[in-house]
């Protein structure tokens, strides 16, 4: 049977990282296959970087990020999970082969314990970053699809308002597109709650319910619930996704502790009911008001920095975004973008950070023109440039600009200049 290029790439990656038995989990984001390793000491990073189809490798403790490009990342992660006999994102059980010698089994167990110990030594910042990525990375395709559909709907609406499209003929199309878009954004808290529950080890359905609680559906608008700290009426979505993540973490703690003490005979009834009541009440009356203050302060602080810092703030943000992408730190900005959109209907950060991608594309085009006789380089640029124009920068970073050094620096400077213009 013919082996697909994704299957071959998955096999090649496994061959350089110690096989599937050295992998505890495999998942992906837009451009990277993310691998949780049991023993990173046996990984041949240099050989992995030379594998055909691998654009770059990022090491983060026992987490290995293999850059393979958009579209390919999902397929390769699925192939790797399938080869390990697991679903993508599921923990791969350690395979202590009983036919191995005692020494070999001991070596496998030692590698597992060492990986667990290194996981314990992860810094709180790295753990928080991984949690945020695990919650939001699965939603990226939804953001892309719903966002593009919403953009098309906005264009149609503007053209109808300007009289360039017949409103009677196009209103139904506009409505359908908005309904599809709101399938994500109207219930984003629910999806975040489900993903957060999976990350924290709680029941995913209960996490979705807690995400829905923040929407305050069912509250009588004539007799709204009060904020116990200020006496003002509680507003739907107050605290946003920050509140949802905190609430679902609390949910996981309550649920796990209840399961330890509730008899098995009534666990299926008592545990979810009590968990939802306790966490639901705390979410409505404590977490939502507090998270609302945090969210408002966060958005207000960023807006203030951009207003006061102007061009300088724009330059710093635009110049530093590509290094953030390189180290995977850009994931931490996702909740900030969402909170800014929820509070003001727009994110002031995104246009500035998008300039980093523009700088990268500009550097790639300049290389293409200057080095047009270098067929290998121009072929890599041609393969990476289209997705770079669409805002996915990793292929250009790892395949083109970063290996050459100076083009990466000039791309950062270009992104900074663009950010300064936007921020001015």
Residue 287: what pLDDT? 94
Per-residue model confidence (pLDDT) at position 256: 93
Average pLDDT of the segment spanning 241-252: 94
Query: Do residue 115 and residue 154 come from a single domain?
Result: no
Domain identity same for 106 and 156: no
pLDDT band at 285, cuts 50/70/90? very high
* Segment 312-323 mean pLDDT: 91
In a domain, 349, yes or no: yes
pTM of the model: 0.70
Q: Do residues 174 and 161 both lie within one domain? A: yes
Asked if 17 and 103 sit in the same domain, the reply is yes
Is 153 domain-assigned?
Answer: yes
375-396 burial, b at 16+ Cβ within 10 Å, e below that, comes to: eebbebbeebbebbeeebbbbb
Q: Which of 92, 122, 152 is the last residue of a domain?
A: 122
Residue 306 included in any domain: no
Same-domain pairing of 104 and 129: no
- Return the pLDDT at 299: 81
**CA neighbor of 342 nearest in space, from 224, 188, 206, 195:** 188
Model pLDDT, residue 97: 47
Q: Give the pLDDT score at 356.
A: 92
What tens digit of pLDDT does each residue of 153-188 get? Answer: 989 999 998 889 998 889 999 999 999 999 988 899
Tell whether the model's pLDDT for residue 328 goes beyond 70.
no
* pLDDT mean over 127-132: 80
Above pLDDT 70, what percent of the chain?
91
Domain count, the chain: 3
Q: Are residues 51 and 61 in the same domain?
A: yes
Query: Which of 159, 186, 213 delimits the end of a domain?
Result: 186
- Looking at residues 277-286, what average pLDDT do you find? 96
What pLDDT sits at residue 116?
Answer: 53
Q: Which two tokens stand for residue 186?
A: 């109207």
Q: What single string gives the DSSP state of each residue in 116-159?
A: HHHHHT--HHHHHHHHHHHHHGGGHHHHHHHHHHHHHHHHHHHH
User: Based on the domain organization, do 109 and 139 belong to the same domain?
Assistant: no
pLDDT at 101 over 50: no
* In a shared domain, residues 70 and 165: no
Q: Is residue 193 part of a domain?
A: no
**Residue 123: Cβ within 10 Å count:** 9
What's the CATH number where 95 sits? 3.30.1360.60
Average pLDDT taken over every residue of the chain:
85
Residue 212 lies in a domain: no
pLDDT single digits (tens) 64-85: 999 888 878 888 988 898 887 7
Q: Are residues 330 and 414 in the same domain?
A: yes
> Which of 10, 29, 135, 381 is the catalytic position?
29
- How much is the pLDDT for 103? 45
Domain end among 186, 203, 238 = 186
How many other β-carbons are positioned within 10 Å of the β-carbon of residue 100?
13
Residue-level pLDDT at 25? 86
Same domain, 26 and 100: yes
Taking residues 233-247, what's their average pLDDT? 89
Range of the domain at 331: 315-423
- What strand order describes the sheet that includes 56-60? 23-28, 32-37, 63-67, 56-60
Residues 103-118 have pLDDT tens digits of 444 444 445 544 554 5
Residue 412 known to be catalytic: no
Angle at the Cα of 299 from the Cα atoms of 298 and 302, rounded to 5 degrees: 85
Contact (Cβ atoms closer than 8 angstroms) between residue 86 and residue 21: no
Q: How many CA atoms lie within 13 A of 334 on its CB side?
A: 24
User: Among the listed ranges 100-114, 194-208, 216-230, 251-265, which one has the minimum average pLDDT value?
Assistant: 100-114
Q: Is 309 within the bounds of a domain?
A: no
Q: Maximum Cα–Cα distance for the chain, whole Å?
A: 79
Specify whether 112 is located in the same domain as 58. Answer: yes
- On whether both 13 and 118 belong to a single domain, the answer is yes
Query: What pLDDT score does 98 carry?
Result: 45
| Residue 221 within a domain | no
């Amino acid at each position: 049977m013919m082996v697909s290029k994704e299957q071959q790439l998955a096999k090649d990656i496994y061959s350089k990282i110690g096989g599937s038995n050295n992998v505890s989990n495999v998942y992906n984001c837009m451009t990277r296959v993310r691998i949780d390793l049991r023993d990173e000491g046996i990984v041949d990073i240099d050989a992995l970087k030379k594998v055909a189809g691998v654009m770059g490798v990022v090491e983060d403790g026992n987490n290995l990020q293999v850059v393979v490009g958009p579209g390919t990342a999902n397929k390769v992660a699925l192939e790797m999970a399938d080869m390990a006999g697991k679903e993508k994102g599921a923990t791969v059980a350690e395979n202590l082969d009983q036919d191995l010698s005692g020494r070999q089994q001991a070596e496998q167990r030692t590698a597992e314990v060492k990986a667990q110990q290194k996981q314990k030594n992860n810094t709180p910042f790295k753990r928080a970053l991984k949690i945020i990525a695990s919650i939001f990375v699965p939603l990226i395709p939804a953001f892309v699809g719903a966002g593009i559909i919403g953009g098309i709907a906005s264009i149609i609406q503007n053209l109808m308002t300007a009289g360039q499209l017949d409103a009677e003929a196009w209103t139904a199309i506009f409505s359908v597109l908005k309904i599809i878009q709101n399938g994500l954004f109207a219930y984003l808290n629910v999806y975040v709650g489900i993903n957060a529950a999976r990350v924290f080890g709680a029941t995913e359905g209960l996490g979705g319910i807690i995400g829905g609680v923040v929407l305050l559906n069912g509250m009588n608008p004539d007799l709204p619930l009060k904020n116990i700290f200020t006496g003002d009426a509680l507003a739907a979505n107050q605290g946003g996704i920050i509140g949802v993540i905190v609430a679902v973490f609390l949910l996981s703690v309550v649920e796990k502790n209840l399961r330890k003490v509730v008899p098995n005979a009534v666990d299926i009834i008592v545990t979810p009911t009590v968990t939802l009541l306790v966490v639901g009440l705390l979410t409505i009356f404590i977490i939502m008001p507090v998270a609302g203050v945090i969210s408002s302060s966060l958005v207000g602080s960023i807006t203030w920095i951009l207003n006061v810092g102007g061009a300088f703030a724009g330059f710093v943000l635009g110049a530093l975004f590509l290094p953030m992408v390189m180290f995977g730190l850009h994931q931490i900005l996702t909740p900030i973008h969402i909170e800014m959109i929820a509070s003001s209907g727009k994110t002031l950060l995104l246009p500035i950070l998008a300039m980093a991608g523009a700088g990268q594309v500009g550097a790639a085009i300049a290389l293409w023109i200057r080095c047009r006789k270098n067929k290998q380089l121009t072929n890599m640029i041609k393969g990476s440039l289209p997705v770079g124009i669409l805002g996915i920068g990793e292929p250009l970073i790892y395949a083109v600009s970063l290996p050459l050094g100076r083009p990466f620096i000039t791309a950062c400077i270009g992104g900074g200049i663009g950010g300064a213009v936007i921020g001015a």
